[in-house]
Amino acid sequence: MFDSLKKKFNVAGEEPGGTTTKPDISREKSAELYEKAKTFFPGGVNSPVRAFKSVYGTPLFIEKGDGSYIWDADGNQFIDFCCSWGPLILGHNHPKVREKVIEAMQNGMSFGAPTALENELAELIIKHNKFIEKLRFVSSGTEAVMSAIRLARGYTKRDKILKFEGCYHGHSDSLLVKAGSGLVTFGETSSAGVPKSFADETIVVALNDKEALQKAFDEFKDQIAAVIIEPIPANNGLLLQEKDFLQFLREICTKNETLLIFDEVISGFRIGFEGAAAHYQVKPDIITYGKIIGGGLPVGAYGSTAKIMNNISPDGAVYQAGTLSGNPVAMAAGIAQLSELLRMGFYRDLNNKTEEFTSAIQRFATARTYKFKVFTIGSIFWFAFTEKEAIRRADEIDAASMEKFKKFHRELINRGIYLGPSGYEVGFISSAHTKIDLERAKRAIFDSLEVVFKPNQTPSGK
């Protein structure tokens, strides 16, 4: 009670300086719900970043979403740039998705037997994706990646995998591994509970570093089953890779008979329908999907050529299964969402809108010589408090700059703009974000940047 009062009247927490800071919005109900949630869940949440540990305050509990907007338990309205961490490319509660889901639900929720809806979603994907001949549906991105890794190991009959520092691939054991010191390293576990012997099978190198990659292949000749990469790394800032590096990666994998896995859980259906593979014109051997593919319901998938996919059970020896895999309600949501994405000009409009938005923000910051850069591709953006023109590796991110993000985030929340609660997270624009929404958001972003960089002056009101 005292805490939430303090929050309400903005007397607690780090005091932002100056008169330009907006008073904190009321967060009383969210704070109460969070107190209760902490008695049920570790950290009060069911996924860690939701806990607001690296920004001001406690999590906002969301009551509803519609289009580009969300409302929290205290009735505050926000323009949402988190979009459920990417899945909602059509915005919240899109009528086409909602109607299709309701229609599917009339027939029951789950059968554990095949339904025509699985065929329908698979056909929609395969028909419009030249990189995939067969796929398998699962229920999350983590599961898709975990299964893709097993498939690669089963297919190549090798054990080691190689990943890049700064890419996230879900929370399976083999991938909760970070770089040790040195150019090429065996991974060190990045979570308690992951056996060291698992980490020993995962090699970790820096992104955008051909030399390190070459060295890894020299050192572990004929041992690497797969290289996995987010071709557009978007889970630790937005670490845009050079096309040249991705091509090198393709070539070195081919030469060593190592499978190349593109983890397109974010970039799939986001950077165009065929994702990053089509954007860079680099053909991976296996692709993993999640997020957008399920229209906001839990769906993941992994796909490849028929030849490789036929190694999956029951055709092949690589076991993988799921009680709720291909769930009809989730399939329906995916079908409705992906059908919208196939409309002429969908991506052109979305990407142009994003480009206008991000370039206006960049111009504003540059004109004021703020150390601030907006990195962007497609409808993904990342606000970085940096002077660097490019950031391509995890170790190029300045951890100290996150203090600025923290202030920025608080100012934005108080101005009705919701960004994911960490400076390492990217933002997403959906087709539901209107020009007016983006104008409003821009103004809030300008004012918030002024508070962050010039805390004692009056905002321009631009």
Ligand X SMILES: *Cc1c(COP(=O)(O)O)cnc(C)c1O
Residues engaged in binding ligand X (CB under 6 A): 140-142, 145, 168-170, 230, 235, 263, 265-266, 290, 300
Structure tokens at 332: 């329906």
Structure tokens at 166: 């700064």
CB of 164 to ligand X, least distance (A): 11
CB of 140 to ligand X, least distance (A): 4
Task: Choose between 100 and 291: whose C-beta lies nearer to ligand X.
Answer: 291
CB of 290 to ligand X, least distance (A): 4
Q: What is the DSSP letter of 59?
A: P
Active site residues: 168, 263, 291
Task: Choose between 289 and 446: whose C-beta lies nearer to ligand X.
Answer: 289
Taking CB positions, which residue lies at the least distance from ligand X?
141
| Neighbour tally for 32: CB within 10 Å | 16
- 303: helix, coil or strand? strand
CB of 142 to ligand X, least distance (A): 3
As a whole number of angstroms, the distance between CA 417 and CA 434 comes to 14
Phi first, then psi: what are they for 11, rounded to 5°?
A: -105, -10
Residue 159 to residues 150, 154, 194, 226: CA-CA distances in angstroms?
9, 9, 17, 9
CB of 303 to ligand X, least distance (A): 15
Structure tokens at 63: 């009551």
Where do we find the tokens 């323009």?
Answer: 79
As a whole number of angstroms, the distance between CA 406 and CA 452 comes to 9
Task: Choose between 297 and 365: whose C-beta lies nearer to ligand X.
Answer: 297
Instruction: Show the CA angle centred on residue 386, arms to residues 276 and 359, nearest 5°.
Output: 60
Task: Choose between 169 and 353: whose C-beta lies nearer to ligand X.
Answer: 169
Find, among 308, 278, 274, 305, the residue nearest to 289 by Cα: 274
Which distant-in-sequence residues (6+ apart) come within 8 Å of 79 by Cβ? 68, 69, 416, 417, 418, 433, 437, 440, 441
CB of 87 to ligand X, least distance (A): 9
Structure tokens at 361: 């923000």
Task: Choose between 132 and 438: whose C-beta lies nearer to ligand X.
Answer: 132
Task: Choose between 140 and 431: whose C-beta lies nearer to ligand X.
Answer: 140
CB of 454 to ligand X, least distance (A): 35
CB of 291 to ligand X, least distance (A): 6
As a whole number of angstroms, the distance between CA 331 and CA 346 comes to 21
Which residues are 66's β-sheet partners? 69
Task: Choose between 213 and 380: whose C-beta lies nearer to ligand X.
Answer: 380
As a whole number of angstroms, the distance between CA 378 and CA 381 comes to 8
Which residues are 162's β-sheet partners? 203, 227
Task: Choose between 175 and 335: whose C-beta lies nearer to ligand X.
Answer: 175
In the chain the first and final C-alpha atoms are separated, in Å, by 37
Amino acid identity at 245: F
As a whole number of angstroms, the distance between CA 26 and CA 5 comes to 9
